[in-house]
Amino acid sequence: MNYSVRAIARFIKRSPSTVSIEIHQVTPYKAEIAHALALKKRHLRGRHDTLTPAIAVFLNHHIGILK
C-alpha cells in the first residue's frame, strides 16, 4: 500500500515535514535502519547535563545550595 506523506502524518499525529524528513534520510526506507539512525542522533536533542564537578564545587562554596 502506498500512503501519502500527509496521510501517514495524520495517522501518527506528526507534522508532514517530520515524516518527509524521516523517509528521505533512509532510501530505500527501512524502519530498522531509520530507527538506528534516530537512536544515534538522540543525544543531539534536548537538555544536556552541564553540572560538572567544578561547577558543583563553585556553587556549593559560593551559594551553598548543593550538598
Residue 67 has pLDDT above 70, yes or no: no
Of 40, 65, 37, 36, which Cα lies nearest the Cα of 51?
A: 65
Q: Is 19 exposed, middle or buried (0-12, 13-18, 19+ CB in 10 A)?
A: buried
Grid cell locating 27? 532510501
Is the entire prediction scored with pTM above 0.75? no
- pLDDT single digits (tens) 8-62: 999 999 999 988 988 887 778 888 888 888 888 877 777 666 777 888 788 777 7
